[in-house]
Structure formats: structure tokens, C-alpha cells
Amino acid sequence: MKKEDLVYLCTIVGNLSGIPVRLYKDDRLCFYHSVVALPGDPILLEHNEISVPNNHIRFFVTPNFFYYGEVISGAYRIMIGPSRQAAAQDQELKDMAFQLNLSPDDVSDFLSGMKQIIRLPLESMMQMMCAVNFMLNHEKITLNDLIGGDNRFEFEKKRSEERLSEKTTPPEELHNTLAIEQTIMNIIRKGDVAALESFARNAPAVRPGIMAREQLRQVKNTFIVTTAEASRAAIRGGMDVEDALTSSDAYIQECEMMTDGSQITKLQYDMILFYTQQVQRIRHGNYASELVKNVASYVQHHLSETITTEQIADHLFLSRQHLSRRFTQEAGVPLAAFVRNEKIEEGKRLLRYTDRSASVIAAYLGFSSQGHFSKVFKETTGMTPGEYREKKRK
């Protein structure tokens, strides 16, 4: 099919579905169509998924449960997405906007655009891909072909097994870990145990690449890499460096003594939970009450908003006065000060570990202006954002 025909097809699919559609030739974007305006394309966050599969059709799901469909025809690829069945939360979308490095002026447009994308069940996305594939490749593929266990469209798992049997390790097809790693490490850094438990219940399949030809060694190597990253995330969350690294050594030694892959998998979750709990205790007190944990969880999930006592009280079904009084008693700090400190802690992390400007960080954290952010930051840390970044990067 000619390029102009493919462009026509992409336009029709995008108009009918209400979902962004892209056309690639030889891995280069040559056409993009969306009925909603997006200042940044979310597909740019899925670097490890921009690769040509061996089959004509596939789909993948991101850690935030957005999904994309892809159809291949010769040198061309059509990529459809993102969509998902449940509505995304504002904080999720603001995190995506921040990762895309959008300007503060574009964030609201990005959120508005993402919310206007039609939400489809994954099965509907797959049906749409089957129709596009039929038009391009004249193959009659069904949903059963896509999700069945013994056909040529059982995606990454089957291809990984074939690569292992051939003793080849093409990284572009076997890795999907970057986005998932970032999600887990962010959870550890924030000490968000509730988010970890939620992620574990719905976690997508992980393809970490081949680090050994023998399966047990592969599992152990994956554990070692994950433990090293988790310990660093915990350090960034405030855990003592020596404690974090000592724990990492202990977990790796325990893993090396195991001979059962399922035991190592369980140990890996226990290790991630351990680091997350340690950061939670540091950030919210060793004996934080259930109320303090619930407030902290709310704040972490709404960092990009102007958080008020009334909003938190409504969320927890408490009166404003009762919440303020109990929180101060149980946390040892007024609620407003706690919210401010959490935002500044996140600001410190972003200044130290990202290249985002102070104005972008201020907007992301819900401050009314860069000046307000700088004023609160200096009151809390004794330094301006610029001074803090310079000191920590020496």
C-alpha cells in the first residue's frame, strides 16, 4: 500500500476511534493524526516499546495501564494509542506531562487532551488492530489468535523462548523494563506501601532481557540488578546509605543460596516491600498512625495540586477541625506544614536528580509561581532552589 493510502487509513482510524494514530517508515515517524490536541506525545515515554516485532500485529500495556496497538506492513508501522478502560487520575497525567518536559503552560492542555481520548476496552483495541491488519496484510486474525497460548501470535513470551533456544539475545525485542522500573523505584523512593500493593496486584509482565543462558542464573541476576536499584531508590527517599547498602548485600547473599526460582521471586517482592517500608517510616515516623499514613498517601498522590485541609478531610470523611487536631497530635506537626514539607522534599529530589528548571518544578508541584516556590524552599532549606542544586551536584 502506498504512503498516501496509509495516511488516509490512519486518518480514518483516528477519526473513528478518537485515539492518536502514528505512521512510521523505517522506524521514523512520517505521519501523526489525533482528533484531540496533545502538546506532547505519550508514546515518547515508551522508548523500549518502539521496536519492530517479528509478527504483523501486537499490543503492549504500560505500567499506568495505557495500551497501544501496532500493525506492521513492509517498511511501515501503524501505532494506535494510548487508550485505557478506566479514567486516568490527574496526578498520573501530570507525572506524564512532567516526564515529557512540557512547559507549565502546556500541562493543562495535555491533561485536557488526554481526558478527551476515547476510552476503549483492550479487546476493542485488539479488534481494531485485526481490522487494520486485514486491510494491510490480508490476514484474518482473531482475538483468540492474539491471546491464545499455542499460536504464532503469543507475543513476547514465545519469541523470548525461541531466542533462548537459539542462544541469541536481541535487546530491542526482549526489554520492556525501563518504564516498569521507574514506576517501582518511584514507589520505593516515596515510601508508598499502598501504591506498591496496588501495583503488585495489576503489574504487567516484565521482560528484563537475557542476562544468563541458564534460567536460575537469569533469575538471580535479575534479582541482583533490582536490589541494587531498589537500594539507591531508598537512599534517595532518605534511608541511611550504610543501612541501605548493607541490606542490599544481605538480600543478594540470601538470593545466592536459593535454588528455587519461585522463592527468589517472592524474596524480590519482600525486598522491594522492605525498602518501601523503611522509607515510609523515615518520611512519616517510625510509629505513624493510620491517619498519618492515609494523609501522607493522599498528599503523595496529589503533589501537583493545591492541597487544602478541606480536601483531605472530605477524602477521609472527617471534619476539618477534627482532622487538623488529630493530625497535629499524631504527626507532631501541623497539617499545612506537613503538606508544604512533602512538596519541598519532592522539589529537592527533582532539583538534584533532574534537569528541569525551577519554574517547571514549581508548576508541577502546584505552587502559584516560581517566586512562591523559591520563597517557601528557602524558608524550609535555607537555600534557594538554584543554590541547592549547585551544592548537591558538586
User: Under 8 Å CB-to-CB from 188, ≥6 apart: which residues?
Assistant: 196, 230, 233, 234, 237, 272, 275, 276, 279
Percent of the chain with pLDDT strictly greater than 90: 40
DSSP state of 258: -
- pLDDT value at residue 328: 93
Mean pLDDT over 21-30 rounds to 92
- pLDDT value at residue 222: 86
Q: Within a 13 Å sphere around the CA of 339, how many CA atoms are in the beta-carbon half?
A: 23
Closest by Cα among 275, 297, 271 to 195: 297
Retrieve residue 289's grid coordinates: 498512625
CB 283 within 8 A of CB 254: no
- pLDDT value at residue 191: 87
Which residue type, as a one-letter code, is found at position 78?
I
Predicted TM-score (pTM) above 0.75: no
User: How remote is the C-alpha of 20 from its chain's centroid?
Assistant: 20
Closest by Cα among 300, 331, 273 to 190: 300
In whole angstroms, how far apart are CA 387 and each of 347, 382, 390?
A: 13, 9, 5
- Report domain 290-392's class: mainly alpha
**pLDDT, tens digit, 9 for 90 and up, residues 230-253:** 999 999 888 888 888 988 998 898
CA distance 232 to 223: 14
Per domain, the residue ranges of the chain are: 3-165, 175-284, 290-392
**pLDDT, tens digit, 9 for 90 and up, residues 145-177:** 766 543 333 334 433 443 444 444 344 434 445
Question: Where is average pLDDT lowest: 10-24, 139-153, 206-220, 367-381?
Answer: 139-153
Mean pLDDT over 96-125 rounds to 89
pLDDT value at 22 more than 90: yes
User: Under 8 Å CB-to-CB from 130, ≥6 apart: which residues?
Assistant: 57, 141, 142, 143, 146
**pLDDT, tens digit, 9 for 90 and up, residues 311-341:** 999 999 999 999 999 999 988 899 999 999 9
pLDDT value at 203 more than 60: no
Q: Is the dihedral of CA 346, 352, 354, 359 positive or negative?
A: positive
Closest by Cα among 176, 172, 278 to 235: 278
- pLDDT value at residue 150: 38
- pLDDT value at residue 209: 57
**pLDDT, tens digit, 9 for 90 and up, residues 52-80:** 455 788 888 787 778 899 999 989 999 99
Which of the pair, 27 or 153, is modelled with greater confidence?
Answer: 27
- pLDDT value at residue 161: 40
User: How buried is residue 47: exposed, middle or buried, by Cβ count under 10 Å (0-12/13-18/19+)?
Assistant: exposed
- pLDDT value at residue 194: 81
How sure is the predictor about 86, in pLDDT bands with cuts at 50, 70 and 90? confident
Retrieve residue 64's grid coordinates: 499506568
- pLDDT value at residue 61: 78
Instruction: Tell me the average pLDDT of the chain.
Output: 82
Which of the pair, 229 or 177, is modelled with greater confidence?
Answer: 229
- pLDDT value at residue 385: 94
CA distance 294 to 316: 8
